[in-house]
């Protein structure tokens, strides 16, 4: 805009300053957001929860923030971009990585796992990749049978095991049951899947995840990188409000539970699961990941790295998973009928399943 000659700029400024300001539009606070925030604040005040939460109603973010401290000693706060260990929520990423290899024509989940491993125990000969994904392989869970974590480390001779060293813990054991005769949660099966991904792809587990899944989805704060040094980007885990949990390298959990992420990134992941993205994988690949396959517990079914709840296997109302390792709990839930998604990452051990479900219930079914 050009000013006419003889009109001082200062006068124009005074005119603007003296013009009565219009009252700001009053925006009514969303009562659902208030209810969600109050619920989490109460858990923090009761010294039950510290971590980060994201709740979405469809594409709309209702709540995305940190609560409490990422590191109580240095007083670094938790936030939407704080990186937490996500424990067994890792399994859905491992499962998708396997399905990506299938989409690329490099394996088939109906194949026997021994077709892809250089050294395979004879008792694994009848096990298919599908059975590893669905926890019906019968392979003994490597986390069971040790009286203490120190016994676990002594048995493998290192605190930073390789995938092969983890596999040696259970490769010589008999199967707990014949494949596909029952369901039993097995971290060991997902360790074998991580090794399978490395053998078939020619890349490390972490690199394949980054290149084929995380980077295409823009999940820059998610990954698997064992041996990371502590930093303010990462939350410090606590067993309870005042007791810091022992720290174990992510290689101990590997492809069964060794990833880190943020609520912002996992919120993006949940939108991907809800709506798909054909620039990353085909729609049928996401459908295969989510499809309930075997009864796990009453009212709960298991697919590939993801559990589902509902009245029957054909009437699923939610998908999700929880995770639990020393000092960290994780929770993800998708309600496909309403588009509600919940992500909770905690750097304290507590009853996260009930906590996460209540957050989902606080979002009305009709908005």
- Give percent of the chain with pLDDT exceeding 90: 84
pLDDT above 60: residue 107 = yes
Burial 153-167 (b: 16+ CB within 10 A, else e): beebeeeebebeebb
Which whole number is the average pLDDT over 174-187? 97
Token readout for 132 is 């590893």
Note the CATH number of domain 31-361: 3.40.710.10
The average confidence (pLDDT) of the chain is: 91
Residue found by looking up tokens 């125990």 in the block? 121
Locate the domains of the chain by residue range.
31-361
CA distance 209 to 221: 13
Candidates 304, 319, 294; CA nearest to 177 is 294
How far is CA 281 from each of CA 50, 63, 266, 273, rounded to the nearest angstrom?
A: 35, 29, 17, 11
Q: What is the pLDDT of residue 366?
A: 55
Per-residue pLDDT tens digits for 29-57: 789 999 999 999 999 999 999 999 999 99
Axis-axis angle for helices 90-103, 187-201 (nearest 10): 40
Per-residue pLDDT tens digits for 64-94: 999 999 999 999 999 999 999 999 999 999 9
What one-character-per-residue DSSP string does 248-269 give?
--GGGTHHHH--EE-HHHHHHH
- Give percent of the chain with pLDDT exceeding 70: 92
How many CA atoms, within 13 angstroms, populate the side-chain half-sphere of residue 112? 11
Which whole number is the average pLDDT over 293-297? 94
pTM over cut 0.75: yes
**Are the beta carbons of 50 and 239 closer than 8 angstroms?**
no
Q: What is the pLDDT of residue 367?
A: 56
């Amino acid at each position: 805009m050009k000013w006419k000659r003889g009109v001082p700029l200062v006068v124009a400024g005074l005119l603007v300053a003296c013009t009565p300001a219009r009252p700001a539009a009053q925006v009514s606070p969303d009562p659902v957001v208030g209810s969600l925030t109050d619920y989490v604040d109460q858990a923090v005040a009761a010294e039950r929860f510290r971590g980060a939460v994201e709740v979405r109603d469809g594409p709309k973010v209702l709540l995305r923030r940190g609560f409490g401290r990422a590191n109580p000693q240095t007083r670094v706060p938790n936030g939407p971009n704080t990186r937490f260990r996500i424990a067994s929520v890792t399994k859905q990423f491992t499962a998708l990585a396997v399905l990506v290899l299938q989409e690329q024509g490099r394996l088939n989940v109906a194949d026997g796992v021994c077709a892809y491993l250089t050294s395979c125990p004879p008792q694994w000969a009848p096990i298919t990749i599908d059975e590893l994904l669905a926890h019906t392989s019968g392979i003994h869970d490597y986390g069971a049978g040790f009286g203490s974590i120190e016994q676990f480390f002594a048995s493998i001779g290192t605190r930073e095991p390789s995938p092969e060293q983890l596999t040696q813990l259970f490769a010589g054991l008999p199967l707990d049951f014949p494949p596909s005769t029952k369901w039993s949660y097995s971290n060991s099966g997902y360790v074998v899947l991580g090794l399978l991904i490395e053998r078939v792809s020619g890349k490390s587990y972490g690199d394949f995840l980054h290149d084929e899944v995380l980077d295409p989805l823009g999940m820059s704060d998610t990954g698997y990188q064992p041996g990371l040094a502590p930093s303010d980007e990462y939350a410090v885990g606590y067993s309870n409000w005042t007791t810091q949990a022992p720290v174990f390298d992510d290689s101990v959990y590997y492809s069964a539970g060794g990833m880190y992420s943020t609520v912002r990134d996992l919120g993006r992941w949940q939108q991907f699961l809800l709506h798909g993205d054909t620039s990353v994988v085909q729609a049928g690949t996401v459908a295969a990941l989510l499809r309930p396959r075997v009864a796990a517990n009453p009212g709960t079914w298991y697919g590939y790295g993801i559990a589902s709840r509902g009245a029957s296997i054909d009437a699923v109302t939610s998908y999700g998973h929880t995770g639990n390792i020393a000092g960290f709990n994780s929770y993800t839930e998708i309600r496909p009928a309403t588009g509600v998604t919940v992500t909770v990452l905690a750097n304290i051990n507590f009853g996260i399943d009930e906590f996460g479900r209540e957050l989902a219930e606080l979002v009305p079914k009709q908005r």
